[in-house]
Amino acid sequence: MIRNSDPYPISASWHATTILTVRKGGHVVIAGDGQVSLGATVIKSNAKKVRKLGKGNVIGGFAGATADAFTLFERLEAKLEQFPDQLTRAAVELAKDWRTDRFLRRLEAMMIVADRETTLVLTGTGDVLEPEHHIMGIGSGGMFALSAARALLDQPLEAEAIARKSMAIAADICVYTNTNLVIETLASTR
């Protein structure tokens, strides 16, 4: 039997994120937890995975490899400079690059981005998706947060309250999600 003295087994992988977006009542919110894990070990509990982009009129959150996500954020910001106030166009152009560029194709991340009018999910397979019901979750706890948000959407709660409650539910279920939240909000046209 070969023993590996490495404290992180070869099969260990990074689990890093729950990101949720909710659009309701004139606001769009993107919330992200702060936990980064390697295998069964919490490496960091206060990572910032949600931020404002461009001139502050776009917000985004990422799931996946941190360096890859920052590369994608930088590329998206460049596209937003090229196509100001056109989030969908900038996202489609980024997705084209991501899908066809040999370097970018290897990036392992997903993103949720939103402006006043549009919410989009971007993936490395070239997808640019507008989520149903104006809510979406990505990452290891994303489906738990999404389910909770869908259940809360018809309640008399504002978008941020729905996001906070949904993220708390995801953190109770997903061991790779914590309650150290970063939340960004924009006024919405919907």
As a whole number of angstroms, the distance between CA 73 and CA 96 comes to: 15
Structural domain boundaries in the chain: 15-187
Q: Per-residue pLDDT for 188 more than 90?
A: no
As a whole number of angstroms, the distance between CA 83 and CA 77 comes to: 10
| 80, 111 Cβ separation under 8 angstroms | no
Mean pLDDT of the chain: 86
As a whole number of angstroms, the distance between CA 29 and CA 109 comes to: 20
Give the up-direction half-sphere exposure of residue 37: CA atoms within 13 A in the CB hemisphere: 20
Going by pLDDT thresholds of 50, 70 and 90, the confidence category of residue 16 is: low
Going by pLDDT thresholds of 50, 70 and 90, the confidence category of residue 105 is: low
Question: CATH number of 15-187: 3.40.50.40, 3.90.700.10, 3.40.50.2300, 3.60.20.10?
Answer: 3.60.20.10
As a whole number of angstroms, the distance between CA 119 and CA 68 comes to: 21
The per-residue pLDDT for range 27-65, each reduced to its tens digit, is 999 999 999 888 788 888 998 999 999 899 999 999 877
Neighbours of 47 (CB within 10 A): 18
Q: Strand pairing partners for 182?
A: 32
| 87, 118 Cβ separation under 8 angstroms | yes
As a whole number of angstroms, the distance between CA 165 and CA 181 comes to: 11
Catalytic residues: 17
Strands 135-139, 18-24: pairing kind: antiparallel
As a whole number of angstroms, the distance between CA 4 and CA 128 comes to: 41
